[in-house]
């Protein structure tokens, strides 16, 4: 079994309203990659958010009293904090220059995933512009998958990923924030090991493993490889959603 990751080279800069499906298909042709049945495309969150117009200018944001107070505690811009609060279900942790929240898509992350990097310069925007995560990343993945499947007549999987930190570990890693057409979690309970022992606990976060591998090729700076083509995924494709990967609150020992 072979698993291959192939970056789509020199992907064009994405603007609000652009068709990601058309850009992906064009870039696949230019990268000499022909899609096959059950291939997967791993897509960076930033180009999804940009195509969906999830840009906000801090000069247009009026901070609430809650945002002003939280900004004073953390040393952040109150306007930025207001957007963090708007994009969050709840604030879980706060300290100097750090706000950890439960984001509206369901996962825990810093600053609700709002980012300055790779936003300025593409349209002449100044530093006051920031980029929000997709409003519903599962829906974004599903829409992109359906459009690509309609155009290619193939069965595909779509993974939208972002870079997140992790409890008890340093550094960021590529993490699933939305998916369509492939499993988030693979349940191996009941499977026999080499010595006939039945696994009792093992569930594999297959989508996150794929996200981490693809993130190595995407990079974090000026690589311009926001889409990774994957072939040879070792599990059957099926319908799923991000909820498979979110630990229920009553089982979350880190809150």
Name the nearest CA neighbour of 48 among 25, 14, 11, 88: 14
The predicted pLDDT at position 171 comes to 93
The predicted pLDDT at position 77 comes to 96
* Cα separation, 159 vs 60, whole angstroms: 32
The predicted pLDDT at position 124 comes to 52
**What is the CATH code of the structural domain delimited by 4-49+135-245?**
3.30.1330.100
The predicted pLDDT at position 168 comes to 86
> How many residues appear in the chain?
255
Residues 6+ apart with CB under 8 A from 31: 6, 7, 8, 9, 229
CATH topology of domain 55-131: CofE-like fold (3.90.1660)
The predicted pLDDT at position 121 comes to 46
Q: What does the pLDDT look like over 126-164, one tens digit per residue?
A: 568 999 999 999 999 999 999 999 999 999 999 999 999
Q: Do domains 4-49+135-245 and 55-131 have the same CATH topology?
A: no
Output the average pLDDT for the chain: 91
The predicted pLDDT at position 252 comes to 83
What is the pTM for the complete model shown?
Answer: 0.91
> In 3-state terms, what secondary structure has residue 252?
coil
Residue ranges, the chain, pLDDT below 50: 121
β-pairing verdict for 40-44 and 157-166: parallel
**Where in the chain are the domains?**
4-49+135-245, 55-131
């Amino acid at each position: 079994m072979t698993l291959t990751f192939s970056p789509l080279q020199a992907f064009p800069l994405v603007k609000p309203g652009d068709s990601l499906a058309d850009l992906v298909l064009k870039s696949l042709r230019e990268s000499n990659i022909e899609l096959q049945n059950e291939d997967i495309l791993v897509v960076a969150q930033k180009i999804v958010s940009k195509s969906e117009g999830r840009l906000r200018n801090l000069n247009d944001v009026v901070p609430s009293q809650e945002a002003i107070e939280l900004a004073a505690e953390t040393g952040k811009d109150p306007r930025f904090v207001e957007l963090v609060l708007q994009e969050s279900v709840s604030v879980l942790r706060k300290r100097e220059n750090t706000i950890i929240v439960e984001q509206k898509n369901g996962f825990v992350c810093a600053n609700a995933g709002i980012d300055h990097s790779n936003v300025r310069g593409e349209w002449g925007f100044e530093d006051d512009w920031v980029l929000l995560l997709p409003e519903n990343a599962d829906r974004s993945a599903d829409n992109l998958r359906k459009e690509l499947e309609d155009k290619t007549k193939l069965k595909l999987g779509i993974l939208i990923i972002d870079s997140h930190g992790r409890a008890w570990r340093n550094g960021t890693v590529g993490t699933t924030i939305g998916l369509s057409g492939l499993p988030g979690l693979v349940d191996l309970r009941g499977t026999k090991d080499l010595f006939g022992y039945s696994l009792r606990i093992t569930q594999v976060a297959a989508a996150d493993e794929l996200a981490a591998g693809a993130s190595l090729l995407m990079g974090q700076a000026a690589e311009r490889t926001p889409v990774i083509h994957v072939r040879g995924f070792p599990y059957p494709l099926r319908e799923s959603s991000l909820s498979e990967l979110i630990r229920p609150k009553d089982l979350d020992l880190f809150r």
